[in-house]
A and B are shown apart, each in its own frame.
Chain A
């Protein structure tokens, strides 16, 4: 049976799915990237292989911030940006979706769709205010596990207003509110609300938000934020149990749609991959060129701004 592998490799987590020709999930895996994308993909492939019987991967798609590196290593047919991959993946789960909220560890985005076609999107700017990393640092300050945040937030009757525009201001506001006697659950609910306010005022600024709305990314596991979203936009917000796999799903579907097939072997989980940064000194740009080697042999290289730095495999 022909199968299609999609890998979504982000800065925090690595996700993989194997689909058959009918978009049924044959295997899935989710693990931490731990700052080592090559190592994470090797572990991912080993885990996926153990779940498969009688399926032959004929095409690979990669997405996420390490998509290029992992695309080279796996000989991917498709290397796609996260926005397109997420849109395609979400559509496969919810064909009628109109709005996708996504809040991850470092970035957040909104994707608007109309009759199955992406019509608009926006991403956060460089600042990580209001993303997952903001919530986890505040959880640490309050001495609460971030996983418990949502549950605690739901017990609040009166969320404390917290300035959400900037992480630095939010933090000093939070300390102030705690010192004057606001309860912990009210502050936590206030933080969840602050994330939503920040998102709607920055990333989703000026966008028409129409239902059905799907919420994805690590922060979507926080029920406090989900409820704050529902109250703010006045519509139900869907959180899919496979929400974390959407990018990988999209990559696998795009690989299948590409029609490009090439032999793929899970053996690469055992191969020795090395990457090396080389400083090209051929002109004043001093480009840092990344070379990727498999068992000592150069696979590919990139990072040069001009042809002087071209490294041929």
Chain B
């Protein structure tokens, strides 16, 4: 059986988990190609104007896969460890099904809703059932997938530590993984950061549990789990970098609050906020990143501490 996974949204975080699960159950995984301008255009045509750029990109990826797989894997996630998810993840399955109603898509769903007592393992077992696999096989596949996922997370955490120790300017990049690791949206920005001679330190690669724990020093009440983890990364790493770059896809509800919290409460490092839309040019981002790097360099040369 061929399972299609859109290379968008939470694929950029949970990809290794999902792929390993399907492979352990002898399914073939088909990924959509990295995002291009064509993906964004396709997705925008299929989305309402108010949807965020990352959601639009998701639809572009989903459409690409419809005819290339037996079933499209669309997760529905209501919460994640200590908090809820942005509502787009809760609505994703229904959105995808309705968006492509005319194409009668074959979708496999996967539902995590801890408040309704549907945890991760249960979700995978019921996903396996939909693929005709037994409870034992699904359980085993889940545990081997979990190992693959944890290996990926610790590899990323180690790379983050290496970046933090690099003998260079360092910018802590606080962005959702599906924004900053997207080939069309985030990658050019990462290249711009490197072009300034700075080392990007990706906050979303940090250990999730430690970040959640640290985040309470910044905010008690933030409801969104992934945003909370980014706040935690700011608490843990601000002192080890030269500046912080906040990158958001327009319009992001959680970020509009979280970025404001970060700007007001993280006072010991300069912060640059960049909002990305479907617009083509990188000129605006280039001007802002370059001047940000200049400022930090001038402060350093003038003997201000970092």
Report if A120 contacts B (CB, 8 A): yes
In Å, the complex CA distance between A305 and B299 comes to 32
Minimum CB distance partner of A288 in chain B:
B280
A117 and B304 form a contact (CB under 8 A) = yes
Task: Given A285-B37, A285-B184, check contact A81 B291 (CB 8 Å).
Answer: yes
Give the complex CA separation of A80 and B188 in angstroms. 19
Contacts of B283 in A (CB 8 A): 65
User: A158 CA to B263 CA in the complex, in Å?
Assistant: 37
The contact of A117 among B33, B36, B37, B298, by CB within 8 Å, is B298
Chain B residues within 8 Å of A117, by CB: 298-299, 302, 304
Contacts A84-B291, A121-B291 known; A286 to B299 CB distance under 8 Å? no
CB of B290 within 8 Å of the partner chain = yes
Residues of A with C-beta under 8 A to B264: 206
Interface residues of A in 163-219 (CB under 8 A from B): 206
The reply on A283 being an interface residue by CB < 8 A is yes
Out of B38, B188, B298, name the residue touching A284 (CB < 8 Å). B38
- Give A116 to B270 CA distance when docked, in angstroms: 17
A82 near B: Cβ within 8 Å?
yes
CB within 8 A of A84: which of B36, B38, B184, B290? B290
Q: Is the interface of B mostly helix, strand, loop or mixed?
A: helix
A83 with B298: CB separation less than 8 A: no
Closest residue of chain A to B291 (Cβ to Cβ) is A83
Chain B's closest residue to A205 (CB) is B263
Give every chain B residue within 8 A of A288 (Cβ-Cβ): 280
Size category of the binding interface on chain B: 20 to 34
Given A117-B298, A117-B304, A285 contacting B290 (CB threshold 8 A): no
Contact A81 B38 (CB under 8 A): no
A123 touches B (CB below 8 Å): yes
A273-291 interface code vs B (CB 8 A; 1 in, 0 out): 0000000000111111000
Instruction: Assess the A118–B37 pair: CB atoms within 8 A.
Output: no
Bound-state CA distance A284–B275 (Å) is 24
The proximity string for A residues 93-125 relative to B, scoring 1 for CB distances below 8 Å and 0 otherwise, is 000000000000000000000011111110101
**Alpha-carbon separation in the docked complex, A27 to B275 (Å):** 40
Q: What's the Cα separation between A84 and B293 when bound, in Å? A: 10
Residue of B nearest to A305 (CB): B188
Cβ-neighbour of B37 out of A81, A123, A286 (below 8 A): A286
Closest to A120 in B: B270
- Min CB distance, A88 to chain B, in Å? 9
Bound: A288/B270 CA distance, A: 34
A284→B264 CA distance, assembly (Å): 40
**Bound complex: CA of A117 vs CA of B287, how far in Å?**
18
The 5 closest A-B CB pairs, nearest first, are A284-B36, A83-B291, A284-B38, A117-B302, A84-B294
Further contacts, 11 of them, CB under 8 A, given A118-B298, A305-B184:
A80-B294, A81-B286, A81-B294, A117-B299, A119-B304, A120-B295, A121-B291, A121-B295, A284-B36, A285-B184, A288-B280
A interface residue numbers (CB < 8 A to B): 65, 80-84, 115-121, 123, 125, 206, 283-288, 305
Chain B residues close to A by CB (< 8 Å):
33, 36-39, 184, 188, 263-264, 270, 275, 280, 283, 286-288, 290-291, 294-295, 298-299, 302, 304
